[in-house]
A and B are shown apart, each in its own frame.
Chain A
């Protein structure tokens, strides 16, 4: 008797939730594996000597005869290309844009939510309406303006248009608006100036959203492609994405090099992603919640 009950419960268990759960795991992890395959492929091929790469077989684990693993592609890139310079350029541009965005966006969001002046609604309305302007529509006139300002081939030519993005203003506006007014009133009674309210009350309270915005903007500007391609014309001024593509188009048949470039080009941001994953994801989710 107990045996049959047990076997029935086991089979019921198997046919129901357990099977469904197992299938779900197989599906989700299978998907994760498929998504990771290009990474594994890139890493393994970036370390393979050209003899192996010419073989159509994708050696996931290089055979142990001959030269199994090589650093020649990485060595070549570091010796013969400006990949280090490009990385520095990208840091300056993405970092500069991020700092500028966080500073000016938080200032105007502060002004629009915590100070009271006529015309605020109209200003916010115009900024919101500019969301409808797709970035690429503007590139031709923007190029002329940037060129007239003498900013072609300069970091500022990339940074300034990036700083015009209304996204940060919108996100910070929503957050600042919901900070209770009591904090501010208490501070004013203590004799805080407007600047002190901003630096000592609002900014510290907004730290999570400021850091999420900063990381998102850093990633976004690090990866920007079309605009830097237009503005940066000399090889020494390239950002990583532009430099990588230039290398790629110059060496069409060197797979090992391509893969090593891909690794070197994504490594800095990948490290940042691994460290700050939570905040970057949060920034994306905030967009979904507020947009």
Chain B
């Protein structure tokens, strides 16, 4: 007996996506493992490979530039992710109340999200500029020497993170708003009869009911912000004195400026390992706690 008609049809309908998926997602993931175990001695002929085993990984873990990039990345994540989540939540809970002009507020809060990172960087490069920037003009009216937001090694990552919050907070806001609006109002009515309002209602009803969205948003933001690249690439080129270098930016430089493809591929794998670890920790910490 041959294949059923429906089986053949099912496979045929799946093939277009599966082909693209296999060639451009699965295959690179597999090939990356192979590349990370090799070096490419000839920059002009990438078919020439040399097996080096785990050497790329060993080198990576002894590489001070890698640790510096890791530090920059972690600093960026530590500022941007909590701010993105908390501000998004505050905005959503605020707009959910009885406010006039909800649609306008939602449109404004979400709007930076549709800008390309290139535009965000251009605009904020001006806002942060030391000589003619918007912030430092007003700061200059009240203080002697306003700081250089992108030129001070201590501030540059926080500045890039702040700008990123402006750019992306609308995404979280919109998700939280939908989650808040789907909480049945009767839960609050019941709580009010028990005398639970304000903070207690938030803690006992709002937060537990929104748990899934909070887990989702925290997860997405960790994974996205950990891969920060364009902001330092466009605005600071990792400077001043390498203080805004990040992992993906270093990966990009290793592979595409210095053409160390094996090293870059190994870094990609280490990045995934870190992200999986973060995801697992996230699930353990915020996923289970209120179950």
Give residues in A with beta carbon < 8 Å to B. 21, 24-25, 27-29, 31-32, 35-39, 41-42, 45, 53-58, 100, 103-105, 107-108, 110-112, 115-118, 120, 123, 126-127, 130, 132-146, 160-161, 163-164, 166, 169, 194, 198, 219, 222-223, 225-226, 230, 240-242, 244-245, 248-249, 255, 258-259, 261-262, 265-266, 269-270, 272-273, 277, 280-281, 284-285, 287-289, 291
Chain A at the B interface: SS class = helix
**Residue pair A258, B229 in contact (C-beta under 8 Å):** no
A100, B17: Cα distance in complex, Å: 9
Residues in A with CB closer than 8 Å to B14 are 107-108, 111-112, 123
What's the least CB distance linking A93 to chain B, in Å?
A: 13
A136, B227: Cα distance in complex, Å: 7
Residues in B with CB closer than 8 Å to A45 are 126
List which B222-237 residues lie within 8 A (CB) of chain A: 223, 227, 229-230, 234
Verify if B252 is at the interface (C-beta below 8 Å from A).
yes
Q: Quick one: given A41-B126, A134-B271, A288-B175, are A54 and B16 in contact (CB under 8 Å)?
A: no
Residues in B with CB closer than 8 Å to A277 are 107, 110
Verify if B44 is at the interface (C-beta below 8 Å from A).
no
**Residue pair A141, B32 in contact (C-beta under 8 Å):** yes
A104, B18: Cα distance in complex, Å: 9
Verify if B35 is at the interface (C-beta below 8 Å from A).
yes
Verify if B100 is at the interface (C-beta below 8 Å from A).
yes
Residues in B with CB closer than 8 Å to A230 are 256
Instruction: Produce 1/0 per residue, B19-36, CB < 8 A to A.
Output: 011011111110110010
List which B249-291 residues lie within 8 A (CB) of chain A: 251-252, 255-256, 261, 264-265, 268-269, 271-272, 275-276, 279
Verify if B99 is at the interface (C-beta below 8 Å from A).
yes
**Residue pair B25, A133 in contact (C-beta under 8 Å):** yes
**Residue pair B26, A285 in contact (C-beta under 8 Å):** no
7 extra interface residue pairs, beta carbon distance < 8 Å, beyond A38-B112, A240-B116, A288-B175:
A28-B105, A133-B29, A134-B227, A136-B251, A136-B271, A269-B114, A287-B175
Q: Quick one: given A104-B17, A138-B25, are A288 and B122 in contact (CB under 8 Å)?
A: no
Instruction: Produce 1/0 per residue, B99-112, CB < 8 A to A.
Output: 11100111111111
Verify if B119 is at the interface (C-beta below 8 Å from A).
yes
The 3 A-B residue pairs with the shortest CB-CB distance in the complex, in nearest-first order: A288-B175, A117-B10, A111-B13
**Residue pair B132, A54 in contact (C-beta under 8 Å):** yes
Instruction: Produce 1/0 per residue, B112-155, CB < 8 A to A.
Output: 10111111011111110101101001001000000000000000
Q: Quick one: given A115-B10, A115-B13, are A291 and B28 in contact (CB under 8 Å)?
A: no
**Residue pair A136, B116 in contact (C-beta under 8 Å):** no
Of all chain A residues, the one with the shortest Cβ separation from B270 is A137
What's the least CB distance linking B26 to chain A, in Å?
A: 7
A-B pairs with beta carbons under 8 Å apart, 13 shown: A41-B134, A104-B16, A130-B26, A134-B223, A141-B265, A223-B115, A244-B118, A244-B119, A258-B126, A265-B119, A284-B171, A288-B217, A291-B220
**Residue pair B119, A266 in contact (C-beta under 8 Å):** yes
Verify if B186 is at the interface (C-beta below 8 Å from A).
no
Residues in B with CB closer than 8 Å to A249 are 234
**Residue pair B137, A58 in contact (C-beta under 8 Å):** yes
Verify if B60 is at the interface (C-beta below 8 Å from A).
no
Residues in A with CB closer than 8 Å to B24 are 142, 145-146, 160-161, 163-164
**Residue pair B21, A127 in contact (C-beta under 8 Å):** yes
Of all chain A residues, the one with the shortest Cβ separation from B272 is A137
What's the least CB distance linking A229 to chain B, in Å?
A: 8
**Residue pair B119, A262 in contact (C-beta under 8 Å):** yes
Q: Quick one: given A24-B99, A107-B16, are A137 and B127 in contact (CB under 8 Å)?
A: no
Verify if B95 is at the interface (C-beta below 8 Å from A).
yes
Q: Which of B18, B98, B116 contacts A265 (CB 8 A)?
A: B116
**Residue pair A160, B115 in contact (C-beta under 8 Å):** no
